[in-house]
């Protein structure tokens, strides 16, 4: 997805989406902003079991088109999701 697509789906500005997509950490963002961004990307952070299933069955072909910072972030997310049981609460809760 392009940043414009994410901006349109999330209702966030394109500049905000551009900035979020370059961040290594989201701890400076408001929870509502993170949720809107992630839902627009097809990820519901409040349902980590669904993401764990997606990652387990996905080939992650899109990773070839990501920046080094995005690849590092995905490695951390994948590692965290694989280490948690499906019932575990999302990070930060």
Q: What is the 3-state secondary structure (H, E, C) of 23-57?
A: CCCCCCCCHHHHHHHHHHCCCCCCCHHHHHHHHHH
41 and 59 co-located in one domain: no
Indicate whether 71 belongs to any domain.
yes
41 and 53 co-located in one domain: no
DSSP state of 4: H
37 and 1 co-located in one domain: yes
Q: 66: domain range? A: 47-88
pTM: 0.55
Indicate whether 93 belongs to any domain.
no
The rounded distance, in Å, linking the Cα atoms of 63 and 14 is 22
Give the sign of the dihedral formed by CA 21, CA 27, CA 30, CA 35. Answer: positive
- Along the 93 residues of the chain, how does pLDDT read in single tens digits? 788 999 999 999 999 999 998 898 888 999 899 999 988 988 887 777 776 676 666 666 667 777 888 888 878 877 777 776 655 555 554
Residue 76: which H helix or E strand, with range? helix 68-83
15 and 51 co-located in one domain: no
Instruction: Please report, to the nearest 10 degrees, the dihedral formed by the alpha carbons of residues 90, 77, 34, 14 taken in order.
Output: -160
């Amino acid at each position: 997805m392009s940043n414009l697509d994410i901006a349109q789906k999330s209702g966030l500005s394109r500049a905000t989406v551009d900035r979020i997509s370059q961040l290594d950490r989201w701890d400076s963002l408001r929870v509502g902003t993170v949720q809107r961004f992630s839902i627009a990307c097809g990820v519901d952070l409040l349902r980590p079991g669904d993401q764990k299933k997606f990652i387990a069955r996905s080939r992650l072909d899109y990773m070839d088109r990501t920046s080094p910072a995005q690849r590092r972030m995905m490695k951390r997310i994948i590692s965290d999701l694989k280490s948690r049981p499906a019932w575990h609460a999302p990070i930060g809760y």
